[in-house]
Structure 1
Amino acid sequence: MQLEITGHHLEVTDSMNNYVREKAERLKRHFDQVMKIHFILEVEKQRHKAEATFHANGNHMFADAYADDMYAAIDALVDKLDRQILKLKEKLKSHHRQEAAQLVATTEPTD
C-alpha cells in the first residue's frame, strides 16, 4: 500500500504522520487491495479538516471529515473510509450468483 500525506496551511509533524500511518493499517486489514491512499490534512481558521482519496481495485473513492482537533478529524476520516471499504468489499462479493446457481440446481428436472 502506498501512502501520501500532505498538509495545507499546516506542517505535518512526525507524530501526525505516524498516527495517519497507524490508522491506515486498519484499512489495509479489511481490504488488502487498497493500492494508494492520499491524505490531505488542512486547517481552515479554527476547523481542522482531513480528507483522503483512495484507489482500490479500479475504484476511486473520496472522504473528508472536520473536527476541532486534527487527531479527531483523522479518526472520523478513517471511520468513513473503513465503512466505504467494507461496502465496496460487500459489493465485490456477488451473493446473487450463489443464490441463482442454487435455484437453478433445485429446479432442473432429473431423468
Structure 2
Amino acid sequence: MTPDKPHAIDESKFIIRGVHLDLTDALRQIAMEKAGRLLRHNDHIIRIRLDLEHDKTRGNADQFIAKGRIEIGGPDLIASAHSDDAYKSIDLLVTKLDALLRERHGLRKDKRNHPHAAELDSDLPKV
C-alpha cells in the first residue's frame, strides 16, 4: 500500500455504465472510488452496478440520474438519485447505498443477537 492509494479497489466487482452519456475516464474513476467505500461494509458483496443516465427531457434541473444496485446474499439493494450534476448524483447515490448497507447490517445484527422463539402448532413431546 502506498500513501496515495490507501485501499486497493477490486475492479472486477464493479459495473459502471452510461446511458445516453459517454463516460469519461475521470467520471468512471470517481464513480469507482466513491463506490469503493461500500466494499468496506461487507466482504460478501458480489457486485456493485452503477448506471449514470443523462435525461434531456427534464429541462435544466435534475438531468443526471444515478442508479445503483448492490448484489449481495439475500435481496439486492437498489437506490437512485438525481441532480443537475453527474458527480453530485454519484455522491448522493453512494450515500443512499451506504445507508441501505448500514440498515441491513443493523437488522441482521439485531436478528442474530435477539432471536425470536419459534412458534409451533403443537406441543413438543417430553423425552
TM-score norm. by structure 1 comes to: 0.82
Higher helix share: 1
SS of residue in 2 equivalent to 1:92:
helix
Partner of 1:81: 97
**For residues 83 and 69 of structure 1, what CA distance do their matches in structure 2 show?**
21
RMSD of Structure 2 on Structure 1 (CA) = 1.7
Greater fraction of residues in strand = 1
Q: Does residue 5 of structure 1 match 2:16?
A: yes
2:43 to 14, 32, 44: 32
1:87 partner amino acid? E
Q: Distance in 2 between matches of 1:72 and 1:41?
A: 11
The residue number in structure 2 matching 1:96 is 114
SS of the aligned residue for 1:12 comes to coil
Higher relative contact order (CA 8 A, sep 6+): 1
Partner of 1:56 in structure 2? 72
Structure 1 runs of 4+ with >2 Å offset: none
CA distance in 1, matches of 2:49, 2:36: 14
Deviation at 1:96, TM superposition (A): 0.7
Measured after TM superposition, the shift of residue 60 of structure 1 is 0.8
TM-score computed with the length of structure 2 as normaliser: 0.72
In structure 1, runs of 5+ residues without a counterpart are 101-111
Question: What CA deviation, in whole Å up to 9, does each residue of 1:52-84 have, x standing for no partner?
Answer: 111112321110000010000000000000000
Q: Percent identity?
A: 35
The amino acid across from 1:70 in the alignment is A
